[in-house]
């Protein structure tokens, strides 16, 4: 037994992740589909990042935050999918105790930064539409960097808190996780210790980490909607709403899947629904973000064309 495991009472030194499918015949299909999703997500997000870097028109606060979001999306899918693909290749479903906790830490770190960055993007839209005269001073490069740095600091504190809290629990019984990555709700169900305090901590910190940013996003967009409705020209209203539509779509997907994942701690068993939500959270959402942001944005499309072909798009 691991000496570290003995000190905290844990006898489980590794967990068994059941993965997405237990039928051997379906595993190659899952491997190909998720490898493709991973490559598309990484390629799409890095293309958006490259487009933002090469196109001077995109050197604005909104695209600075979007570039950071693209890096986070690559990180988020990298925390979960490659290890799942490696297990499918090796046919080894075990994950060491420490590796499981490390995955939880990085997953919550990146998801936490995502939360705050989406809030910063909503604040940016609020300033751009409701306070256009003071926008350049209120959203200066220094302010942008401070918002990103504070996002990382708060998310790091949150991730470390949860990781330390779950490391205090004892795991002495079953070690089978009905999922394709390690996360808090699944480990709570396997612990021999009482998880009441951990669940309370998850709800309390979750309220601060997700509830507060969501309230700020809703407040920002309430002001934005009121300002846009005061614009007399239909074209002006359409342009203002189009800059917010992509962001609101991403916020809806991110918070919708997040709330469903962590507000169902009362379930007795981890179900296939949890796996579905996990796929939405860690794979589909990061894969869709580049598409959502580039679909109706000619500036991003032009910059992407330049990145992919080396030529400027025709005006």
Q: What is the pLDDT of residue 314?
A: 52
Question: Which among 17, 33, 223, 201 is positioned nearest to 125, based on CA atoms?
Answer: 223
CA pair distance 184, 197, nearest whole angstrom: 13
Q: What is the pLDDT of residue 263?
A: 61
Indicate whether 22 pLDDT > 70. yes
More confidently predicted of 262 and 67? 67
Whole-structure pTM value = 0.87
User: Across the chain, what does the average pLDDT equal?
Assistant: 84
CA pair distance 220, 120, nearest whole angstrom: 10
Indicate whether 5 pLDDT > 50. no
Q: What is the pLDDT of residue 80?
A: 93
Question: Which among 117, 93, 157, 138 is positioned nearest to 251, based on CA atoms?
Answer: 117
Assign 1 a pLDDT band (cuts: 50, 70, 90). very low
Q: Does domain 14-309 have CATH number 1.10.940.10?
A: no
Q: What is the pLDDT of residues 83-142, one digit of tens each?
A: 999 999 888 889 999 999 999 999 999 999 999 999 999 999 999 889 989 999 999 999
Q: What is the pLDDT of residue 268?
A: 46
Q: What is the pLDDT of residue 208?
A: 84
8 Å CB contact between 17 and 177: yes
Indicate whether 144 pLDDT > 50. yes
Q: What is the pLDDT of residue 202?
A: 85
Q: What is the pLDDT of residue 3?
A: 42
CB neighbours of 125 closer than 8 A, spacing ≥ 6? Answer: 62, 220, 221, 224, 243, 244, 247
Indicate whether 304 pLDDT > 60. yes
- Which of 7-11, 73-77, 160-164 is predicted with the least confidence, judged by mean pLDDT? 7-11
Q: What is the pLDDT of residues 185-240, one digit of tens each?
A: 889 889 998 888 988 988 888 888 888 898 999 999 999 888 888 877 777 777 76
Q: What is the pLDDT of residues 117-134, one digit of tens each?
A: 999 999 999 998 899 899
Assign 302 a pLDDT band (cuts: 50, 70, 90). confident
Indicate whether 31 pLDDT > 50. yes
Assign 243 a pLDDT band (cuts: 50, 70, 90). low
Domain residue extents for the chain: 14-309
């Amino acid at each position: 037994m691991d000496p570290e495991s003995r000190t905290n009472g844990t006898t489980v030194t590794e967990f068994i992740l059941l993965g997405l499918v237990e039928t051997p015949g379906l595993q190659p299909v899952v491997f190909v589909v998720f490898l493709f999703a991973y490559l598309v997500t990484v390629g799409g997000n890095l293309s958006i990042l490259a487009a933002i870097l090469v196109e001077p028109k995109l050197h604005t606060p909104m695209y600075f935050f979007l570039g950071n979001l693209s890096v986070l999306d690559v990180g988020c899918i990298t925390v979960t999918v490659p290890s799942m693909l490696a297990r499918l290749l090796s046919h080894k479903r075990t994950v060491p105790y420490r590796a499981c906790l490390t995955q939880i830490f990085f997953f919550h770190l990146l998801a936490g930064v995502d939360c705050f960055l989406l809030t910063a993007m909503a604040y940016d839209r609020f300033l751009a539409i409701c306070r256009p005269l003071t926008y350049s001073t209120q959203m200066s490069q220094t302010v942008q960097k401070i918002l990103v740095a504070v996002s990382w600091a708060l998310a790091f504190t949150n991730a470390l808190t949860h990781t330390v809290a779950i490391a205090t629990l004892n795991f002495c019984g079953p070690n089978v996780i009905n999922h394709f990555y390690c996360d808090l709700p699944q480990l709570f169900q396997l612990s021999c210790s009482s998880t009441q305090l951990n669940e309370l901590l998850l709800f309390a910190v979750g309220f601060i980490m997700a509830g507060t940013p969501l309230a700020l996003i809703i407040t920002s967009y309430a002001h934005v909607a009121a300002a846009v409705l005061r614009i007399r020209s239909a074209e002006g209203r359409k342009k203002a709403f189009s800059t917010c539509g992509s962001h609101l779509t991403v916020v809806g997907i991110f918070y919708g899947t997040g709330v469903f994942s962590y507000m169902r701690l009362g379930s007795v068993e981890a179900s296939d629904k949890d796996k579905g939500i996990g796929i939405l959270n860690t794979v589909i959402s990061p894969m869709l973000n580049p598409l959502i942001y580039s679909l109706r944005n000619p500036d991003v499309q032009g910059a992407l064309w330049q990145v992919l072909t080396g030529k400027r798009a025709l005006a």
